[in-house]
Structure 1
Amino acid sequence: MKPPIVEHSEPITLIGGGDVGENDLNLASSVAPTLVAADGGADLAVAQGHMPQAVIGDFDSVSDDVQRLVPPERLFPVREQETTDFDKALRHIHAPLVVGVGFLGGRVDHQLAVLNTLVRRAATPCVLLGAHEVLFHAPPRIELALDPGSVVSLFPLARVNGRSSGLEWPIDQLTFDPSGQIGTSNRSTGPVTLEMDQPGLLVMVPRGAFDLVMQAFRSTRHVPWPAHAG
């Protein structure tokens, strides 16, 4: 197995080339100050006054000007075309958590590819920050200290089962399937706990719950999926 390009004991911010809100990068960097760019995300980072510690991708969208600005030892081209730049970056990062900005919004096909990677790279916990929501792949167990009435949307990318507490409509008797049962627009009745039997479920909560999601992923009770999952 090749060593990771970026390895850190603290969360890492990963910026992509999609929609990045005015405060997205600052919010992510406040909890994950080490910045990595997925290809064209380097242009957005530099434009906002941030120099990435590494740029990973096939380099088909990062500009020549930015490539000249970034120190050459921080440029890591991965030339294969079989995977997306998000996948290339995520699989070359070793950190307890990745906070992604610039991966939600924009083209639907790009977003679907990102969500597919979240599930396939289940052993690398990643939280995506969007304009209206925070999205992540459900780990085996997570506890979220949500306020009552918070929207909790659950969407499967595989056939999955699990259990919940703190949801208005519990999931205990459900089998989620991308072509069948889904769980969008559920609501919290207070703190929420999800326990999943297998990987494959995406969770979306309001953007205002970003700090609570970060607390949950950084809790000593958080255990990620094993390396063979996803």
Structure 2
Amino acid sequence: MAEILLDSPDNVTLVGGSFAARRQLRRALALAPTLVAADGGIAHALACGHRPVAVIGDMDSLPSDETWRKSDIRVYRLGEQDTTDFEKCLYSIRAPLILGCGFLGGRVDHALASLSALLRYADRPVILLGEQDLTFHWRAELALELAAGTPVSFFPLRRVTGTGSQGLAWTLAGLTLEPGGRVGTSNAATGGTVRAAFDGPGVLATLPLAALEQAAAALSTPAR
């Protein structure tokens, strides 16, 4: 079992090596004040004027981790190469909620790996922030309070069938979603509580960045 290196009672903002906008990071830190960098993400954090409490990764993007050790930033070098730096952070951090900035921009393969990790570590409450929207692995018991007309998309990472939904313009009940087949993009909230259930895990939900507070509140609620 992987060791928990950072056990935080507060929500954690995790910054990655892809570009993270200053306003995006600032908004995440308002909800998740403990800042951690994934390897080279430390450069983005410092450039935005924020100092992480720790940096986690294989450190292939840092020429010398001694610089950070001397500055009292905790450095956790994990040399295994079976996972990405994002995954290393996910299995090393325990927190009520993790908000990830700098994982969806830049290289497409890196972004896809980050999205895949949301399913692999589905037990972790994680939201990834993009420049315009956010995404997270959907849990069956989630309930979000969204204004009417809010875009809500569901994208399957594996074949699933909807068993019910509430508060959406188009029902998901009875719909089979799968990569390369039907996907549930461009749905919309009708106003009030949004719920969706599938016959198994494997669905990512995407909302506008404006709905970050609602998504954070829902994901922070412990799974039943």
TM-score tier (shorter): over 0.9
What's 1:161 paired with? 161
The runs of at least 4 consecutive aligned structure 1 residues that moved more than 6 Å come to none
RMSD: 1.7
Q: Among the aligned pairs, what percent are the same residue?
A: 44
What's 1:89 paired with? 89
Structure 2: gaps of 5 or more residues:
none
Contact 1:40/1:63 (CA < 8 Å) preserved in 2?
no
- Return the letter of the residue paired with 2:115: L
Contact 1:150/1:187 (CA < 8 Å) preserved in 2?
yes
Pair 1:179–1:86, CA change in 2 (3 A): same
Contact 2:52/2:73 (CA < 8 Å) preserved in 1?
no
What's 1:51 paired with? 51
TM-score (norm 2): 0.92
* Equivalent position SS for 2:30: helix
In 2, the alpha carbon distance for the partners of 1:33 and 1:187 equals 31
What are the superposed Cα offsets for residues 46-67 of structure 1, whole Å, 9 maximum, x if unpaired?
1222221111111111353x75
Report the count of equivalent residues: 221
TM-score (norm 1): 0.90
Deviation at 1:121, TM superposition (A): 0.5
Contact 2:125/2:220 (CA < 8 Å) preserved in 1?
no
In 2, the alpha carbon distance for the partners of 1:136 and 1:27 equals 17
Contact 1:57/1:77 (CA < 8 Å) preserved in 2?
yes
- Return the letter of the residue paired with 1:182: V
What are the superposed Cα offsets for residues 132-181 of structure 1, whole Å, 9 maximum, x if unpaired?
10111101221111111111111000112332111111101112111212
Contact 1:160/1:196 (CA < 8 Å) preserved in 2?
yes
Larger deviation, residues 17-26 vs 191-200? 191-200
What's 2:172 paired with? 171
Larger deviation, residues 173-182 vs 201-210? 173-182
Deviation at 1:112, TM superposition (A): 0.4
Structure 1: gaps of 5 or more residues:
225-230
In 2, the alpha carbon distance for the partners of 1:31 and 1:44 equals 19
Contact 2:126/2:219 (CA < 8 Å) preserved in 1?
no
Pair 1:87–1:81, CA change in 2 (3 A): same
- Return the letter of the residue paired with 1:50: H
Pair 1:133–1:113, CA change in 2 (3 A): same
Larger deviation, residues 140-149 vs 34-43? 140-149
What are the superposed Cα offsets for residues 79-133 of structure 1, whole Å, 9 maximum, x if unpaired?
1222111011111111121110011122111110000101000011100111110
User: What pairs with 1:120-131 in structure 2 (closer than 5 Å)?
Assistant: 120-131=120-131
- Return the letter of the residue paired with 1:28: A
* Equivalent position SS for 1:116: helix
